[in-house]
Amino acid sequence: MTNAYAITEQEAHDIAVDAYVYFYPIVSLDVTRKQFTNLEPGKVPGRGPMNMFNNVPTYPPGDDKGVVRYNFDTLYSTAFLDLTKEPMVVSVPDTGGRYYLLPMLDMWTDVFASPGWRTTGTQAGEYLIAPAAWRPDLRERFDEFRLPAGTQRIRAFYDRWYRPNATILVLVGDVKTADAVKQLEGAFGDWAGRPDAIADRAGAPAPITERRVLLVDKPDATQTQIRVGAPSMARNDPELLAGQVGNTILGGGFTSKLIEELRVKRSLTYGASSAFVARKVGGDFRLSTFTKTPTTLETLKLALEVENGFREKPIDPKLIDKAKRYLNGQFPLRVETPDAIAMRLAEIEFNGLPADDLSTYRTRIDAVTPAAASRVAKDKMFDVNRVAITVVGKASEIKGPLEQAYGPVKVVTPLECDTLGRK
């Protein structure tokens, strides 16, 4: 008897490696599933039989190793679904605008759908979870099964939003363009677009006309987190690069002015930074730091003083030259892998930037003058009197000092943050 197909030892090894890589996640998750579901309901928070939500009424403890890593500020409910016999319907109540998400993962832990605040809204909903091959002849005839009114297929969300006219595809690698185009057309050539796949974008945020202070009360906090910001430049703003050069001096590195004043000279914090966060439509300029509770006001005041002083004075040309050398030196490290290049190319396409944005980056950095950087700092960094200040900490100790320094302070709980700004 002879083998129909003989393989070498190396080929056998490669096949075994591929099989291991493919199947190990499934085996690992199935072990997790058995550990989570081989229990009576209610016996252990978050664990119970299949096809049943098991709630965790408190934040996960730091030593919980049920999964690789929990978010320790998140309340969880979990369920493992068995779809071998029939689909399952997942019902959610109207949360009244409160943030939630319902990520659905396959056995490789790939998220194939995530109903919730960001995607489907917070109104009541019922979602039919079904295997891909489940009775395709009956996909549109749910009434025969007497499913609740308004039942939605996860597939419907995918069919609407995952379309080529709402997608940017970037390919970077050792491949000839003609070959790549041919293969991409073969893979995606029959992928049809939909006019309603293009989301309506919100406009740029309105300017802030007065100082606003929000205090998120954490009664058990021993440190205070501080964020300050205001609307600023979009990603395609031609002045953004000059702003980034200036910000490198203010708060863009470990030798910045914020670090020098808040950490080195006064030991108020371990870290402080600032940045232009530019998006397709609008953007913001923000400052971030933290400190122990008793020095909250001192740290906030000093951070604002440093930022305001930086805006009001011309920037030292020597510091501009140093910042430009730093940015140009860092640039190759940020595009040294195919993945990094692909991300930058996608960013160029998404934000409508010039095609030569990468190839001209260092030249444009070199062209930034001290006068231009100073002007952009003055115009695009925030005015300390027209800014949003968010402080997260122990309200019983810091609310009074904040009010004395900055006027009215709005106090909310962490849970109330979910609905801030929503109408």
pLDDT digits (tens, 9 = 90+) for 341-390: 999 999 999 999 999 999 999 999 999 999 999 999 999 999 999 999 99
153 lies in some domain: yes
Q: Are 151 and 127 spatial neighbours (Cβ–Cβ below 8 Å)?
A: yes
Give the highest mean pLDDT range of 35-39, 141-145, 151-155, 273-277: 273-277
The CA distance from 283 to 177, in Å, is 35
Question: Phi and psi (nearest 5°) for 282?
Answer: 75, -170
Residue 276 to residues 281, 306, 319, 372: CA-CA distances in angstroms?
Answer: 13, 16, 19, 16
pTM here is: 0.67
Q: What is the pLDDT of residue 144?
A: 42
The count of domains in the chain is: 3
Residue with tokens 């009244």: 96
Residue with tokens 């802030």: 208
Residues 388 and 252 in one domain: yes
Question: Could you tell me the residue range of the domain that residue 304 belongs to?
Answer: 212-419
For residue 216, the Cα-to-chain-centroid distance in whole angstroms is 21
Residues 281 and 378 in one domain: yes
Q: Which residues contact 238 (CB under 8 A, 6 or more apart)?
A: none
The CA distance from 230 to 205, in Å, is 9
Q: Is the pLDDT of residue 190 over 80?
A: yes
DSSP letter, residue 106: -
Quick one: residue 212, left, alpha or beta (phi over 0 = left, psi -120 to 50 = alpha)? beta
423 falls in which pLDDT band (50, 70, 90)? very low
Across the chain, mean pLDDT equals 88
pLDDT, mean of residues 260-274:
96
134 lies in some domain: yes
Residues 144 and 168 in one domain: no
Residues 335 and 414 in one domain: yes
pLDDT, mean of residues 261-277:
96
Q: Which residues contact 167 (CB under 8 A, 6 or more apart)?
A: none
CATH code for the domain in which residue 336 is found: 3.30.830.10
Residues 125 and 246 in one domain: no
For residue 407, the Cα-to-chain-centroid distance in whole angstroms is 32
Q: What is the pLDDT of residue 319?
A: 97
Out of 143, 177, 200, pick the residue that ends a domain: 200
Q: Which residues contact 240 (CB under 8 A, 6 or more apart)?
A: 233, 276, 278
Residue with tokens 């009576």: 40
Q: What is the pLDDT of residue 406?
A: 97
Q: Are 338 and 173 spatial neighbours (Cβ–Cβ below 8 Å)?
A: yes
